[in-house]
């Protein structure tokens, strides 16, 4: 039974943005098996949509039948972690647009959005620090999505410091449809560089420069192991770099490849030609889009 003071809100819609790791440096594994990272995360304008409506228990439905809707889904685990012990429930419908296993943080963003949404929907009033602690128990990338939109993430990803957004406004995302298992990519990294000192590849880049000034300085330590596991991804990167005549990077543990543009017109033109020549799904997404959390519809 719900407490007498609690009145469920009307159904609410929230949007969960994808992320890009503009820059990602990875250290040697820690005693707990996680790798220390330093990474510049930004949100990008590709959104999953979550609809919340009152229910007696916690239930999830999803537009993608391949995604589990039980306790394996971070959305369900986020809801369970927040649920007060007075019988409040929620029905959540998840409309997926962010591909799973693409290095775009879709599942983590869905979980963080669920924490933010249910904190309002259930009128819990928890401070962001408390939500951050819960987010960190759900996954390394989840806390970023509570803060965003441009942050330096350290520790295993859960130590989040806001930094100024880049000076360029648009990202071209190339989605090869390959599902990259994150643990396997980190494991391959350790196999390929067993003795490398922490952060041997230098200091993470953050800053407000435009696309062409920024791109050459960006790097991702997970590219080498991901390309070793899936050589076709390395070939695709090379092909796209030839088409767009600028550096192309991988996000997270892959498989999404991206490059940056200052204007929407440039990004749209590149999308057309890359789609034509590679046959891959390409998306133009704004970098650090305005917050769409909490938009009641």
Active site residues: 19, 141
Considering the complex, what minimum distance in angstroms separates the CB of residue 137 from ligand C5P? 10
Considering the complex, what minimum distance in angstroms separates the CB of residue 250 from ligand C5P? 16
Considering the complex, what minimum distance in angstroms separates the CB of residue 35 from ligand C5P? 4
Residue 37 interacts with ligand C5P (CB under 6 A): yes or no: yes
Residue 35 interacts with ligand C5P (CB under 6 A): yes or no: yes
Residue 157 interacts with ligand C5P (CB under 6 A): yes or no: yes
Stretch that binds ligand C5P, among 11-19, 166-174, 182-190, 288-296 (CB under 6 A): 182-190
Residue 145 interacts with ligand C5P (CB under 6 A): yes or no: no
Stretch that binds ligand C5P, among 61-69, 138-146, 169-177, 212-220 (CB under 6 A): 138-146
Residue from 102, 139, 166, 169 binding ligand C5P (CB under 6 A): 139
Considering the complex, what minimum distance in angstroms separates the CB of residue 136 from ligand C5P? 9
Burial of residue 244 (CB within 10 Å: 0-12, 13-18, 19+) is: buried
Residue 186 interacts with ligand C5P (CB under 6 A): yes or no: yes
- For ligand C5P, the closer of residues 24 and 285 by Cβ is 24
Residue 182 interacts with ligand C5P (CB under 6 A): yes or no: yes
Tokens encoding 201: 């590849």
Question: Residue 2: CB partners within 8 Å, gap ≥ 6?
Answer: 8, 86, 87, 88
Considering the complex, what minimum distance in angstroms separates the CB of residue 244 from ligand C5P? 30
Binders of ligand C5P among 264-293, rule CB under 6 A? Answer: none
Residue 240 interacts with ligand C5P (CB under 6 A): yes or no: no
Stretch that binds ligand C5P, among 47-55, 135-143, 206-214, 230-238 (CB under 6 A): 135-143
Give the count of residues interacting with ligand C5P (CB under 6 A).
11
Residue in this structure with the two tokens 């409506």, named with its chain if needed: 53
Binders of ligand C5P among 77-116, rule CB under 6 A? Answer: none
Residue in this structure with the two tokens 């600028």, named with its chain if needed: 246
Considering the complex, what minimum distance in angstroms separates the CB of residue 89 from ligand C5P? 26
Q: Give me the residues that bind ligand C5P (CB under 6 A), please.
A: 34-35, 37, 139-141, 156-157, 182-183, 186
């Amino acid at each position: 039974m719900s407490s007498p003071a609690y009145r469920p809100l009307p159904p609410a819609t929230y949007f969960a943005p994808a992320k890009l790791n503009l820059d990602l440096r990875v250290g040697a594994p820690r005693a707990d098996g996680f790798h220390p990272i330093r990474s510049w995360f930004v949100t990008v304008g590709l959104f999953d949509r979550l609809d919340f409506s009152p229910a007696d228990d916690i239930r999830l439905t999803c537009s993608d039948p391949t995604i589990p809707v039980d306790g394996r889904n971070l959305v369900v685990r986020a809801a369970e972690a927040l649920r007060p012990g007075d019988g409040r429930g929620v029905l959540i419908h998840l409309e997926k647009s962010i591909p799973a296993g693409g290095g775009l943080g879709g599942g983590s963003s869905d979980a963080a959005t669920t924490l933010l949404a249910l904190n309002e929907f259930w009128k819990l009033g928890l401070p962001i620090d408390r939500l951050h602690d819960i987010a960190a128990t759900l996954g390394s990338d989840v806390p970023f999505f509570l803060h965003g939109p441009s942050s330096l993430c350290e520790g295993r990803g859960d130590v989040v410091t806001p930094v100024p957004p880049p000076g360029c406004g648009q990202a071209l995302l190339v989605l090869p449809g390959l599902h990259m298992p994150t643990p396997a990519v980190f494991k391959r990294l350790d196999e390929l560089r067993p003795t490398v000192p922490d952060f041997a590849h230098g200091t993470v880049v953050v800053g407000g420069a435009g696309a062409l000034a920024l791109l050459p300085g960006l790097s991702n330590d997970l590219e080498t192991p991901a390309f070793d596991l899936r050589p076709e991804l390395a070939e695709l990167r090379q092909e796209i770099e030839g088409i767009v005549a600028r550096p192309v990077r991988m996000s997270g543990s892959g498989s999404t490849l991206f490059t940056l543009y200052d204007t929407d017109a440039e990004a749209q033109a590149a999308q057309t030609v890359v789609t034509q020549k590679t046959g891959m799904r390409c998306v133009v997404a704004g970098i650090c889009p305005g917050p769409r959390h909490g938009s009641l519809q």
